[in-house]
């Protein structure tokens, strides 16, 4: 007897979010929070945080691939993120929307709130839940600070404060952020942001896909 194959959901009915790997966990959390069962997630490498010139061309290819696979509803899980408007050109080319704002540090806080404090935060170094979890992999080892702590002043000497934008309440992540601030010689501030505008952005994208 032939086995009955499960029918795959029609890609045209799905919402595909192509996001930065740095916010993958948060996108999935918002998906569950909003009950967006028709949402699927794929990510570009989190390391593009350090190489913003790679984001737009990679997104171009990712969207083309998704459309070839039959996805009609696509949402870009990036803000501008240092692309200098190049990501917007890709979005316009393909007729898709992205997260509003200059970077995730802004939309986590909410664009309205961020606009009020952006100037005051100019000399601040932001961390998120992801960056706390990946502090060693993203900062200590790539910058050589684990072996050459004397480089801290070269990299962080112009900062005055470390601000931890907390998406969740995790004491272990708090400890990482506090330790990082102390090690870098910076004042410390914790802001409980939750997922900020990411929730509204995904809800709007899901509504447009219905």
pLDDT for residue 9: 53
3-state secondary structure the chain: CCCCCCCCCCHHHCEEEEEEHHHHHHHHHHHHHHCCCCEEEEEECHHHHCCHHHHHHHHHHHHHHHHHCCCCEEEEECCCCCCCCHHHHHHHHHCCEECCCCCHHHHHHCHHHHHHHCCCCCCEEEECHHHHHCHHHHHHCCCCCCCCHHHHHHHHCCCCEEEEEECCCCHHHHHHHHHHHHHHCCEEEEEECCCCHHHHHHHHHHHHHC
pLDDT for residue 5: 38
Tell how far CA 202 is from the center of its chain. 13
CATH code of 13-105+195-208, in short, is 3.40.50
**161-166 β-sheet, strand order:** 124-127, 161-166, 187-192
Domain residue ranges in the chain = 13-105+195-208, 111-192
Distance between first and last Cα of the chain: 38
pLDDT for residue 88: 98
pLDDT in tens, 164-198: 999 999 999 999 999 999 999 999 999 999 999 99
Structure tokens at 172: 């272990």
Low-confidence residues in the chain, pLDDT < 50: 1-8
Residues contacting residue 115 through CB under 8 Å, at least 6 positions apart: none
Cβ–Cβ under 8 Å, residues 75 and 205:
yes
């Amino acid at each position: 007897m032939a086995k009955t194959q499960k029918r795959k959901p029609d890609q045209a009915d799905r919402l595909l979010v192509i996001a930065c790997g740095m916010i993958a966990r948060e996108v999935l959390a918002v998906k569950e929070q909003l009950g967006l069962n028709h949402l699927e997630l794929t990510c570009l490498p989190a390391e593009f945080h350090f190489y913003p010139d790679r984001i737009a061309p990679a997104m171009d290819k990712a969207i083309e691939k998704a459309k070839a696979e039959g996805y009609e509803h696509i949402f870009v899980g990036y803000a501008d993120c240092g692309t200098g408007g190049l990501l917007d050109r890709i979005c316009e080319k393909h007729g898709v929307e992205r997260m509003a704002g200059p970077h995730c540090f802004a939309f986590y806080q909410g664009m309205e709130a961020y606009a009020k404090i952006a100037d005051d935060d100019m000399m601040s170094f932001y961390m998120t839940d992801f960056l706390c979890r990946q502090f060693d992999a993203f900062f200590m080892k790539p910058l050589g600070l684990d072996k050459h702590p004397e480089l801290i002043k070269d990299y962080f000497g112009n900062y005055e404060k470390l601000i931890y934008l907390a998406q969740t309440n995790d004491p272990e992540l708090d400890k990482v952020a506090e330790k990082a601030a102390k090690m870098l010689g910076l004042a410390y501030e914790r802001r409980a942001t939750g997922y900020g505008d990411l929730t509204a952005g995904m809800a709007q994208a899901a509504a447009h896909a219905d």
